[in-house]
Structures are given as C-alpha cells and as structure tokens.
Structure 1
C-alpha cells in the first residue's frame, strides 16, 4: 500500500503535466479557426523566416528586462507587465470563442473584457495553483494558436530549433533562466503550471525555499514548455491540412504526429527531471514535436512544407 501511495505521489503529477500539454494543444487547435476568421495573425507574411528571428529578439529583450527588474527589486513592474499581457491574451481568446456563438460585436467585446478583467483580478488576489493553471491553460492555448496561425512550417521549425539551443544555453551554461525562474516564482504569475503532489498543497503559502535534499511539494513546468511545441501542432494543421488526405476529427496526420512527438519528448525529459536536477525542456520537447511532425508528413505522403 505504501509503495502504491509513493508511486501516485511521484508519478501522478507527471501524467497530469502531460495532460495539461495535451489540453493546451487541443484548445489551441480549436481556437485556430475562429482566430484566423477574426484576423488575429501576428505577422502579415507567415512564410517569412524573419518573423522567427524577430520573435527570438523579442524574447531576448524581454528576458533581459526581467533580469534587470529583478536585480533592481522592481518586482511590481514585472507583475504589472505580465498581468497586462495576461489580460490582453484572455481578452483575445474569448473574442475568438464568442465570435463562433454570436455576431454581436458589442456583446462579444463587453463579455470578453469583463471575463479578462475578472480572471486577471482573481489571479492577482488569489493566485492559488488551480487559478494559475486555469489562466495558464487559457493564455497558453491562445498564444499557441495566434503564433501557429501566423507562422508557416519553415519559420516555425527555425523558431523551435533556435529556442531549443537558447534554452539549453540559458539552463546549462549561463544558468540565467534558472535564476529568472527562481526570482519570478514568488510573484505567483501564470508563467508556469503547478502540479501538487497532494491536494492540500497551497501555492500561495509555499515559500519555495527548500534545504538541500528536501523534496518539493509540487512539480513545476514552464508555460513555454507547453506553448512552443504547440505552435508547430497548430501550424501543421492550418498550413498543411489542405494537402493532407488523412485526417482524424479534423486534425491532420502531421499535426497528430507532432502531438505524439511532443509527448515522446516530454517522456524523455521526465527521465532526467526525476533525477532531481533542473532541465531545459525545449531541447527535448521541440526535438520530439519536430520528429513527430516529420513522421506524420511521411505517413500522409505530402510535402514536408
């Protein structure tokens, strides 16, 4: 009985995180069509690889901004910027969802604005782990869908490859991503998913300060680890669906392959995570999603891009 409890305590969160990744991917696929109809593409030319480089530059600038703000103890600035980004993303997600229900723009805008404000205030006032995860799921799926409909296959592959390299350098070499994660953790923002090992766990009360060898009470996964591979899942379904004769419930085989590949990469990542050391997620996840996408393309018998 004790071994069974130990298994559930250690491995149930791993399966839960895999479920969250799949939830982000399915919701982003659902959002892709209404977001496309609403013209929410981030770039005018989805085939331009320069878009990927532009995205990387934005990430580097934002990371630098966060590190400087943390060094100068300007946590309130970080909190304000991220909460504004959260509110705007939630707003666009509900615009897309409600547009498929009603044609009344005034109602769509009013309800979307109301919900985005309510969820953002709830997040600010009561950032418990299930609130963090709910908001993270919404903004993760929204961001994945927006960039997935904005970038065609080649720009996405370039983006994921560069991000995998950057993530590896920032975690294993410069280690600034670890410092950033630890510094932002206390702000309790939806930049990560929180999977507690027991339901009584409180993210609000967690101090995150553990002695060496002391076990954490929850697993944490960065929001980007779910978002980045999902961009390819969405892009494959948007830009290759018309070429793919094989589909399952409206999802193309390259997209399904990308989803399966993400889980394979995630499984490999968890093998190393369970050893107790911080790991760069994107080298595993992005490699998995790219390989899974390639397998789906081969099965479909369509061009790679």
Structure 2
C-alpha cells in the first residue's frame, strides 16, 4: 500500500513539468495566430518601460485583491477572477479561430467558447477541468506577452517578478494570504495535481490550509491530497520561451530557436529545484527558480547560437 502511494506521488510530481512543457509549447504555437490577430499587449516590444508598467499594475491589482480578502468581499473577488478569465479566453479562442475564418466571426465564436469555458470552470471546477483549461489559458496569456516583448525586456520583467515573489512569500508573506483565499474559493487560477486515488477538487479541496508552526512560520499541512501550482508560475517562464522563439530565430528545431530551447530546458531545471525545495514542507516562491532557470537557459542558448551557429 505504501509503495502504491509513493508511486502516485511520483506521478503527481512528474505531471507538473509535463504541464509546464505543454504551456511553453502551446504558447509558441499560439504566437502565429496571436500575432495575426493583432493581440500584442505593448506597441513597442523593445521598450524597457513595459516591464515597469507591468509590475506597477500587478502591485495595484494584488493590493486590491488583498483588500477584498481582508474585508471579506470574497464574492466580489470571485466575480473579478471570473470576468478576467472570460476576457482572457476570448483572446485565446478568437486568436485561434482567426487563422481559419474572418476576424468578426472568430470574435463571435471565440466569445461563445470563452463563455462556455468560464461557465464550466464555475459550475464544475473538477481538477482535470481546471488543469486542461488552465494550461490552455496559461499558454494563451504567455503567448500574448511573448509576442509583445523582446527578450531583454522579458528578462528584466522576470527578474523583477522573481524579487517580488520572494519578498511576498518569505518577507511580507502577503502572497500566502492571497493563495489561501484562492484555495478556499476553489478559484481556477492554478493547476491541481492529485496525490491520492479518488481525489475530487470539488469535494476534497486540497486537504489542508497554510498554517503557522510553533516558530510562527507558515507551512502547509502535510496531509494535503494534491499539489498546487499557480498559473503565474507556468506563464512567466513561458513568456521568455515565446519571446525567444519570435524575436531571436535561428539554430533550433522548427519554431524553437536555440535561445528558446535553452529557456525551455532552463525553466524545467528550475522547476526541478522548486519541487525538491517543496519537500521541506514550507511554502516556496516559485518564480525565482523558474525564472532564473529560464534566463540562464536563454543566455546559454544565445551564446551557443552566436558562437557556433554563425556562418
């Protein structure tokens, strides 16, 4: 019985790099239809001010969400997330349909698909529904930002987000408060990987909350029935993979240039470090190893392309 449980836990751990790889690959594949549909977020992809604006908007939005949680306005928080998800799915579905039909028809059908996906997540947020639609959403969002920013601004963005994530988890710990609110509300902005047979996200949740230990440090309950990973941890390194594929072509496989392959492999290595750290039992900031791995991999791929692939 013990060996069976260990085997299921190993499968659960392996599922997370598979989902990260799916998001990164999907993001690159969506780059063409997203570009054709004009869904770039920033006008100047080379501007270093873009990451600054991104961080400012993120901080303002996070502060607003924390205020809603603090004053028990969780129904409003729930609706904000649903509306945001609906709008994001419109871009994803209409962008894909724009390759095979007119822009107006693609927007109409894409909006219907976005509504259906949002309602499904609302009415039946089972773990496999959350994971499938979450991977699709993460790929679409990563693709939109990947086609909007060249690698240098993306690297700056990922560095700033890594610092912010580390501070918000280990210092201010407000990210733990936000994560707890998301978990309690069954909000579909994460992927859920079951560790136990017969698990249901609707029925079981995650089987524990983030609680302080004797020293006052927060740590998750060890009896959790599932691993969780926020969509942001899947999206951010995927932005660099997509940006490298779009803006630094050459020397790779298909749409993936050597820098893009390097960023992809580096993010998977960073995820491995993160998963190892998770076994300490403490909440871990995901972006420092994920983004750091992606940046290091990109630089290695770029170096190889410049020095060994040049004519």
From 256, 281, 287, the equivalent of 1:282 is: 287
Structure 1 alignment gaps of length 5 or more = none
| 1:296–1:42 CA distance, 2 compared to 1 (3 A) | same
Shift of 1:279: 0.3
Q: Per the alignment, in what secondary structure is the counterpart of residue 193 of structure 2?
A: strand
Who is 2:71 aligned against?
A: 72
Q: Per the alignment, in what secondary structure is the counterpart of residue 63 of structure 2?
A: helix
Are 1:233 and 2:241 an aligned pair?
Answer: yes
CA RMSD of aligned residues (A): 1.7
Shift of 1:210: 3.0
Shift of 1:76: 1.2
| 1:198–1:149 CA distance, 2 compared to 1 (3 A) | same
From 211, 234, 252, the equivalent of 1:247 is: 252
Shift of 1:209: 5.6
Q: Which runs of 4+ in 1 moved over 2 A?
A: 104-107, 206-214
CA distance in 2, matches of 1:101, 1:210: 46
Instruction: Give matches, 1:140-179, under 5 Å.
Output: 140-179=138-177
String of CA shifts for 1:53-90, please: whole Å, max 9, x gaps: 00001110111011000011111111111111111111
TM-score normalized by the length of structure 1: 0.94
TM-score normalized by the length of structure 2: 0.92
Shift of 1:132: 1.2
Who is 2:82 aligned against?
A: 83
Q: Per the alignment, in what secondary structure is the counterpart of residue 220 of structure 1?
A: strand
Are 1:21 and 2:29 an aligned pair?
Answer: no
CA distance in 2, matches of 1:45, 1:8: 48
Contact 2:150/2:243 (8 A) holds in 1: yes
CA distance in 1, matches of 2:9, 2:18: 16
Structure 2 alignment gaps of length 5 or more = 212-220
Aligned length: 298
Who is 2:216 aligned against?
A: none
CA distance in 1, matches of 2:222, 2:184: 19
Q: Per the alignment, in what secondary structure is the counterpart of residue 69 of structure 1?
A: helix
